[in-house]
Amino acid sequence: MSQLAYIHSGAKTRVQKMRVGISVTTPGVPVIGATANNEGVLLGTTTTSADAVGMAIDTATYNTAQQSDNSDPSQTVSVVTNADAVWQCRLSGAATSGSALIPYFNTAASATGILVTPSATSGGSTVDMSAVDDTVIFCYSGANAGVYRRMEPADATDVNLTQAFPFAIAADDLFFVCPITEGAIQYATLTTTLDEYDALVATALNTTPTWRAVELVLNDLGNNGLLNSYVNLICADHAFAGSALA
């Protein structure tokens, strides 16, 4: 999670110093409350940050030993604790942050703008998109560049759309997939360093996700969208609000 986008309610940002129970080496990552036998906040994981206390916006090194200069070994990290903070998270094309998204070529023209036949190469074999049913396919280049639609892949050979693109889809138009949709109840998988969204992982509908998409910020070829597209996420399991307090 690279940076704070905004506070959903419009309230003032609350930043609190919290003691760490693990080293935080990357800013913009989720932290959860201390568990048994831990001194302070811990890191979330790629798939869950249940009972998150917020997002760490700087770094800290966890020490256990007495220091030679008699300084306090306890360290703190700055955490945005607003339960309704929205975080702009870059879409990564792999589990490693900074990876480009994967572009797909459309192999067969669709005059009605209702069908995409994605392939890893121009004129190549169609890629099976059934694992990302009901998520987003975005037109990266072509007449529909900058527009996205929900996917309903019926089989391994093509992608049906719930709504037509404005223009006909031509062969070799480029698309990429964002496997999460705004407002939907879906898993969000983070990269290994927890600071970006792993768009290579197919998400699934789930009743108790940690992170939920508020909005998508997808960019086309003119804005280098394979490296500069984002999802704005809000925590759905925060320690200071919602079901976590029940």
pLDDT (0 to 100) of residue 183? 83
pTM of the entire structure? 0.90
pLDDT (0 to 100) of residue 131? 85
Backbone φ and ψ for 220, nearest 5 degrees, come out as -90, -170
pLDDT (0 to 100) of residue 205? 61
pLDDT (0 to 100) of residue 32? 94
pLDDT (0 to 100) of residue 186? 76
Query: What's the pLDDT tens digit per position in 71-90?
Result: 898 999 999 999 999 999 99
Give the 3-state secondary structure of residue 7.
strand
Those residues whose C-beta lies under 8 Å from the C-beta of residue 198, and which sit 6 or more positions away, are: 46, 92, 94, 95, 189, 190, 191
Residue type at 245 in one-letter notation:
L
Do residues 139 and 165 make contact, with C-beta atoms less than 8 angstroms apart?
yes
**pLDDT less than 70: residues of the chain:** 1, 154-155, 204-209, 242-246
Measured distance CA(242)–CA(190) in Å, rounded = 22
pLDDT (0 to 100) of residue 245? 44
- Bridge partners, residue 42, by sequence: 32
Cα→Cα distances 76→40, 59, 201, 240, Å: 9, 8, 33, 19
